[in-house]
Structure 1
Amino acid sequence: MLYPLLSILGVAAGMTTLLFGFGGGFFAVPLLYALLIAGHGADAPIGQQAMQIAVATSAAVMIFSSALATWRHHRSGSLRWDLIGQLAPAIALGAIVGAYAALQLDGTWLRWLFIGYLVLTLLDSWLRPGFVSDAGAVLRPMSRAGSALVGLPIGALAALLGVGGSVMTVPLMRRRGASMLTATAMANPLSLPMALSASLVYAMLPSTGEPLGIGFVGLIDLYAAAALALGAWLGMQLASPLVGRIADSLHARAYLVLLGTVLLVMLCAGH
């Protein structure tokens, strides 16, 4: 039942990737973590590294889902490649640091870091002006130095938690005057360098412990990744007609509601 269920939930991940720039990580990480614990037990080798496996597998799936969503948004003209080019190198470098740090952390700590980050993001977006309100201004560019200073922590934190950069890049672009369509569209290409760098680290430098078994490359569960990717592709086909047709303020509120849902799933996954 593990892989069919992942494919079904992958549909939701694909839809949110295209519409909200999530890259699938906010669905894949808590879902896969909970399923690995339920299927193998917390004391089994896979159960002991369930959070790291979930994060690593999520990063691998993001290579596929973010690339496909990037292509679709590029064709619709929603991307600002000049800003993407400034942020992407720093994000890729930060992702290497974040992925390596994840291999050194206990899974429980990693889970609570994930939860804490979601809480802070939700509070900041709801309480600080500039996210929920309709952005009518022109997207303001960033300096090269500013892009590097912002990109490094975005890449590191995204790779550490396996969530992609959308939770940081969307609020950043939003407060710089971007519409939700532009902000969420740009989250996908900005997740790609993180996903590529992090996946390489997770595949080449697995944490110490007993072998995880057939179907694993390092900490990446290839079977789970394939099931999620298949569902994500279908989800994007279903979501395509909605791109650009959601009111800006509704789009922003829906983004935050989805983050809150993932927070609840992650809180319940440990019980």
Structure 2
Amino acid sequence: MTVFTLLLIGAFAGLTTVLFGFGGGFVTVPVIVWADAAVGSDAVMIAVATSALVMVVNAAIATAATPVAVLERLRGRGVLLLLLTLGGLCGAVVATAVPAAVVSWGFVAYLAVTIVDVSVRPGFFSRATQDGSPRGTVRIPSSFGLPIGAVASLLGVGGSVMTVPLLRRSGLPMSEATALANPLTLAISLPASLAFMVLPHAAPVHAPFLSVGIVDIGAAALLLAGSIPVIVLLRRRPLPIPESVHAGTYLALLLTVLGAMIASLW
């Protein structure tokens, strides 16, 4: 895969980070699977590990640029963030020990379940009615933190795929749900990326520039070179998107990445 292609996809990852809270990892897993196809089935392990690093940087920049009033929604949710962090670490450890096929098809299966969930269950396309909690409260149970973090880092789906639907059902608009997905993604991806760098794994990394552990630093750097300017620009000049269009595009992206991942595995 050419340098220009990775830069272009990085720019798209930056766009999805700001607009959908994906952090970039969710988008880049199928891309890196293609880029490292020479290593065979282990390419997905390299993709998941590399995407974790991309998510750390993108989510950190997006979080830093998020209005304080939005981040205040997470006040008092320290236990949730701690369990997301622990889950992210556990998922990465498991990922280094399971067969690549488990991660590949687990990624596909989880996306498929999520697509059905947001399409069928109420609360995603129309904001959930309040149940007595203060408006805008992040009603993700703290106990969900460990499994969310573990699944997100194990499969490389990113925190947003799991948290945005939950945040929407907390009654938040898409703009706030996707913005809050970035700090949650950061909590998951930081320990995961460190684990992927230091833990041993049999996957051979054929990185043209540099690799650390099973992280393809060269691919990550090119993706970040494309994504960071887009994140900075869109945080300074946000795009007004109607609520229904925002939610519909989120679902369309899930479908697109699902198709791309299936295509990369055949």
- TM-score w.r.t. structure 2 length? 0.91
Offset at residue 73 of structure 1 (A): 1.2
| Corresponding residue for residue 70 of structure 2 | 78
Offset at residue 244 of structure 1 (A): 6.2
| Corresponding residue for residue 176 of structure 1 | 170
Stretches of structure 2 lacking an aligned partner (at least 5 in a row): none
Aligned AA (1:11) = A
Correspondences of 1:157-168 after superposition (within 5 Å) = 157-168=151-162
| Corresponding residue for residue 188 of structure 1 | 182
Offset at residue 59 of structure 1 (A): 0.1
Q: 1:210–1:113: structure 2 CA closer, same or farther, 3 Å change rule?
A: closer
Q: Which moved more, 1:61-70 or 1:102-111?
A: 102-111
* Aligned equivalents of 1:73, 1:244: Cα separation in 2: 14
Stretches of structure 1 lacking an aligned partner (at least 5 in a row): 41-45
Offset at residue 33 of structure 1 (A): 0.3
> RMSD of the TM alignment (CA)?
2.0
Give runs of ≥4 in structure 1 deviating > 6 Å.
Answer: none
* Aligned equivalents of 2:247, 2:205: Cα separation in 1: 43
CA-to-aligned-CA distance 1:118-141 (integer Å, 9 cap, x gap): 000000000011101145752234
| Corresponding residue for residue 53 of structure 2 | 60
Aligned AA (2:28) = A
Task: Pick one of 36, 43, 46 that aligns with 1:50.
Answer: 43
* Aligned equivalents of 1:70, 1:60: Cα separation in 2: 15
Q: 1:179–1:135: structure 2 CA closer, same or farther, 3 Å change rule?
A: farther
Offset at residue 78 of structure 1 (A): 2.5
Aligned AA (1:249) = S
- TM-score w.r.t. structure 1 length? 0.89
| Corresponding residue for residue 43 of structure 1 | none
Aligned AA (2:29) = V
**Contact 2:127/2:168 (8 A) holds in 1:** no
Correspondences of 1:1-271 after superposition (within 5 Å) = 1-37=1-37, 40=38, 46-74=39-67, 77-79=69-71, 80-82=73-75, 84-135=77-128, 137=130, 138-142=135-139, 146-147=141-142, 149-208=143-202, 212=206, 215-240=210-235, 243=238, 245-271=240-266
CA-to-aligned-CA distance 1:243-270 (integer Å, 9 cap, x gap): 3621222211111111111001001111
* Aligned equivalents of 2:158, 2:12: Cα separation in 1: 16
Q: Percent identity?
A: 43
Q: 1:188–1:83: structure 2 CA closer, same or farther, 3 Å change rule?
A: farther
